[in-house]
Amino acid sequence: MSEHLGELLSAHLDGELAGDELGMLNGHLPGCELCQTELAVLHGARSALRSLPLLEAPDLGVPEIKAPVIPLHRVRRVAAVAAVAFVAFAGLATFQTSRPVEVSLSDVTEIQLELQQDAPTLIPPMPADSQ
């Protein structure tokens, strides 16, 4: 497997992978030095952050809001699927509206005559031969 796992490495450290994703990572990691190095760097950065002391946030009188945490790699997948769906829809809409319509000269003449009868003030009459 030659693809770089990138975001899956961070998700693995966070314990977010299971099933097929975890199997893919475990199968890929032993043969990829780039991913092994990145995983080691991520692990080191994570350890360094966890070793920092915890500080209490000052009380500013604002109530605490608990927001759901959505893993970033999952959000990006949803955004990618939505983008693909939008492009497919836009392409289909463009394709359907851009089909040429065949119109004969007699059709145009008939439409002009109908318009002249329905709204003679909008379309000035054709001038007779002015010689």
62 domain-assigned: no
CA distance 64 to 98: 53
119 domain-assigned: no
What is the pTM assigned to this prediction?
0.40
Q: Which amino acid is at 84?
A: V
CA distances to 29, 111, 114, 116, 119 from 122, in Å: 75, 14, 12, 8, 6
63 domain-assigned: no
131 domain-assigned: no
65 domain-assigned: no
87-102 mean pLDDT: 70
- Looking at the predicted structure, is the pLDDT value of residue 117 above 70? no
- Looking at the predicted structure, is the pLDDT value of residue 122 above 60? no
The structure tokens listed for 75 are: 């959000």
By percentage, how much of the chain surpasses pLDDT 90? 0
- Looking at the predicted structure, is the pLDDT value of residue 119 above 70? no
More confident residue, 81 or 2: 81
CA distance 104 to 97: 20
Q: Which domain holds residue 5?
A: 1-52+72-100
Q: Which amino acid is at 27?
A: G
112 domain-assigned: no
67 domain-assigned: no
22-28 mean pLDDT: 84
How many structural domains comprise the chain?
A: 1
